[in-house]
Amino acid sequence: MRIFKSIFCVGCFIMMLCGGCKCDLKDYSKAKKAAKENFGYAYNIKRQELGIPLIPAGWTYTSRGSNILSWDNPLFQVAEKAGTPIYKDKYITFTENGIIEEVDAYFSGKLYVSPDPDMNMMAEQIIVRYNYKIAAEGGNPWEWAVLCGPDAGKGSNLKDVERILSKWGLQR
């Protein structure tokens, strides 16, 4: 009986939250599904035109938050344990008006002492971001960052990204 009351209370709380914020889970689910279909594999043709890395076949889709889509390389865990460089994942942030940005992460295969005292080790990876709004305004849409290791830094030049990835044995 106690478990039933707990489940009932949690259910009421969720209903209250949804009623209070006027969210419609059906609409949210439809919007997320449409975004996945529109900006997933089918969008690779546009990505190729823009020079953005494609979502490789066989990657695993993961829903992250209300306006973020993610595709993860299913081989990442194995590569991480083996210390092998790999194209790790892609995040796509979107609104009802379209894609805001795409972020691609590449793992070098190495771990370094973290600059954050709460963490022991940190994976060396390069994060490459393409901002659609900046591109539409005629600016350079690219940004990159490496948070630790000998290549730590940030910038907006794709030649730097290519140089770092090449050094790790990877390419965009």
pLDDT, tens only, 18-69: 333 334 444 456 777 888 888 999 999 999 999 999 999 999 998 777 789 9
Domain assignment present for residue 53? The answer is yes
> Which alpha helices (DSSP H) does 52-148 contain, by range?
76-82, 132-136
CA 41, 47, 51, 56: dihedral to nearest 10 degrees? Answer: -10
pLDDT, tens only, 108-144: 999 998 877 888 888 999 999 999 999 999 999 999 9
- State the pLDDT at residue 130: 97
**Which structure tokens are listed for 121?**
């080790």
pLDDT, tens only, 44-53: 999 999 999 9
Q: Cβ distance 168 to 150 under 8 Å?
A: no
Domain assignment present for residue 28? The answer is no
- Which structural domain, as residue segments, surrounds residue 49? 40-168
pLDDT, tens only, 70-106: 999 999 999 999 999 999 999 999 988 899 999 999 9
Domain assignment present for residue 59? The answer is yes
- State the pLDDT at residue 37: 85
Domain assignment present for residue 24? The answer is no
**37 contact partners, CB below 8 Å, separation of at least 6:** none
Domain count, the chain: 1
pTM attached to this predicted model = 0.80
**Which structure tokens are listed for 6?**
């707990």
